[in-house]
Amino acid sequence: MRKTLFLMGLTAISAVAGQGLAHAQSNPDIQLGSKIPVRPEKPDPVKDGLVRDRYVNCAYGPHQKEVDGLLAISDPLTVDFEGAGIDEGKMFRRWNIRDCFVTEGNAVQSEITFSGPAFRYMMAEAAYLRAHPDTPANPEVWIAKPRIYVTEGDQLPTAKALGTMSDCIVSHDPKGADQLVRTASGTKAEKQAAMELVPALSACIVAGQKLQLTPGNIRGFAADGLWQRFVAGSPSATVSVPSEAQN
């Protein structure tokens, strides 16, 4: 069984979540699809965020079944493309993902590069937002599904630590996590929503754990935890839901 394993330590965790894991940026040298050199551009977080968000929204929908299968057999470090029936090497071409960078007939001057886990975090966000167009009511009744880890060997503790932290953040502040993934990437709104999750982050980071945190990183952790609880998980039958929420 072929798996994509993104090796890292807890000190380099910023490469796993959010913009660190999914690097969508303006390319100062090459215009997408044309290979024509263009004038270098100064990085623009808002523009880069628009590219990232368009990719998330565009890539998931046409391939929801395959992506959902992938999310079910992956963890924060390892993505089992083969087990999900996805040819990772041909995915970009077969899924016409380049079309996701065309807006109103114009090719966006951008590039996107990502690891397997990068793709997973972005698709977890897309799957959550598709399942919950609005913030879930009564989040306290939802129970996260126990995680399945496909990472092996020395990296397994790291994968578990990442998954546990994502679940902890959403457990402490589900509405705050939800608000974060509904903001536009690279904006002041995203930064503000990430700042509002700091209390949850503080409660969930293990003593001695060193993290490089950015709004994009925090967004990735939030998306992972939200998917695990509100998409893979389900409302508990043992918790009563207020009658007005049932109607």
Token duo for residue 184: 């536009």
Q: What is the mean pLDDT of the chain?
A: 76
206 pLDDT higher than 80: no
pLDDT of residue 114: 64
Least confident of 47-56, 68-77, 127-136: 47-56
Token duo for residue 77: 């470090």
Q: What gap in Å lies between CA 230 and CA 141, rounded to an integer? A: 10
pLDDT of residue 102: 55
Of residues 113 and 20, which shows the higher confidence score? 113
Mean pLDDT to the nearest integer, 186-211 = 88
pLDDT of residue 101: 62
Provide the whole-model pTM. Answer: 0.77
CA-to-CA separations, 113 to 23, 35, 107, 122, 177, in angstroms, rounded: 5, 17, 17, 12, 25
The number of angstroms, rounded, from the C-alpha of 220 to the middle of its chain's C-alpha atoms is 4
Q: Which of 190-216 are b and which e, b meaning 16 or more Cβ less than 10 Å from the residue's Cβ? A: bbebbeebeebbeebbeeeeebebbbb
pLDDT of residue 96: 64
Q: Residue 68 carries which side chain, given as an amino acid letter?
A: D
Mean pLDDT to the nearest integer, 54-64 = 83
CA-to-CA separations, 50 to 1, 45, 124, 184, in angstroms, rounded: 35, 9, 18, 7
> How far does the chain reach from its first CA to its final CA, in angstroms?
46
54 pLDDT higher than 50: yes
Least confident of 115-124, 136-145, 230-239: 230-239
Q: What gap in Å lies between CA 54 and CA 34, rounded to an integer? A: 20
Closest of 152, 164, 21 to residue 80, by C-alpha: 152
Residue pair 85/69 in contact by the 8 Å Cβ criterion? yes
The number of angstroms, rounded, from the C-alpha of 190 to the middle of its chain's C-alpha atoms is 14
pLDDT range class, residue 112, cuts 50, 70, 90: low
Of residues 28 and 247, which shows the higher confidence score? 247
For the stretch 135-160, pLDDT in tens is: 998 999 999 899 999 999 999 999 99
pLDDT of residue 190: 95
Q: What gap in Å lies between CA 223 and CA 128, rounded to an integer? A: 7
Residue pair 2/78 in contact by the 8 Å Cβ criterion? no
21 pLDDT higher than 90: no
Mean pLDDT to the nearest integer, 50-69 = 84
pLDDT range class, residue 57, cuts 50, 70, 90: confident
pLDDT of residue 77: 92
pLDDT of residue 207: 67
pLDDT range class, residue 222, cuts 50, 70, 90: very high
